[in-house]
Structure 1
């Protein structure tokens, strides 16, 4: 899946973009709209905290860093006291898992409080009253969907496409 960013000038055009995406068989759960705080979105699919924050990338980074730290701590624990191979493997596995879990948890908390880095570049436009539509589409359909939206709604700016998105947001 890849995420396409559409910058849209008004709520009416935003509704037409969402309708066009639905007609292109993009499921509603894969369409997210971000607007200025306090702007009513009516029946449009509002972006959740997962799309508005850096939670997912922070968890991924924290898990990798915490797991690496846990492996290093486990290696130190195995080397210092004399331990059997079975116990050493258990210690190494336990510290790696504990490090990954703690790293993911702490990073997730930090990521929830930080705005999405990809959306920061659109903050000025959003504050000016524009709407940002995020659409998660299959990689092989990106060009087709961009073409379809541009053909029917030339006033919509297709800003960028993320190379890939996590499978679970």
Structure 2
């Protein structure tokens, strides 16, 4: 189980220094994600990807729930009140539920892909002013250790909080 820590770093050299320190602390590079202003080069640093910058994952999750619920309700209504001359089996509820899940995931995913990640809204102003956001996923038992290490070595780095739940997908 991992927790995501957020740090707002003043510039790219500071971000690079923290990357090196986290690597020395045995945090793998694949668990670190840097996000800087568009056009800012991040040499040899893992950048945040599309899934971390947009609300795609949240949108697909919401679409699955909403589409599935509406599909099941629609299927139940079709079975209960079928069109004239048609008798639908109970399995129609399952098929409409699956169709609702697929359509809901697709439709809300398309919309959410164009929306910036709402969890990162608090950091957007800092990023636009030239700062660098670090998102680092650390094992639950090492959260306190990593927080203390960064605070002791770099008191000027702004700690942005801990996200209690890391989606498995991004």
TM-score grouping bracket, smaller chain normalisation: over 0.9
Q: CA deviation at 1:166?
A: 0.7
Q: Superposition pairs for residues 71-150 of structure 1, below 5 Å?
A: 71-81=72-82, 83=87, 87-88=89-90, 90-150=91-151
Distance (whole Å) between structure 1 residues aligned to residue 13 and residue 47 of structure 2 = 15
Question: What TM-score, normalized by structure 2, do the two folds share?
Answer: 0.92
For residue 34 of structure 2, give the secondary structure of its aligned residue in structure 1.
strand
More divergent stretch after superposition (97-106 vs 13-22):
13-22
Q: CA deviation at 1:83?
A: 4.8
Stretches of structure 2 that go unaligned for 5 or more consecutive residues are none
Aligned residue pairs: how many? 166
Pairing 1:61–2:62 present:
yes
Distance (whole Å) between structure 2 residues aligned to residue 100 and residue 23 of structure 1 = 44
User: What root-mean-square deviation, in Å, do the aligned CA atoms of Structure 1 and Structure 2 show?
Assistant: 1.5
| Counterpart in the other structure of 1:18 | 19
| Counterpart in the other structure of 2:29 | 28
* Deviations, residues 15-56 of structure 1 (Å, cap 9, x unaligned): 111122222222211111000111111111111111100010
Distance (whole Å) between structure 2 residues aligned to residue 28 and residue 93 of structure 1 = 43
Distance (whole Å) between structure 2 residues aligned to residue 71 and residue 21 of structure 1 = 48
Distance (whole Å) between structure 1 residues aligned to residue 109 and residue 26 of structure 2 = 32
Distance (whole Å) between structure 2 residues aligned to residue 110 and residue 3 of structure 1 = 25
Question: What TM-score, normalized by structure 1, do the two folds share?
Answer: 0.92
* Deviations, residues 137-163 of structure 1 (Å, cap 9, x unaligned): 222322121112212222211111112
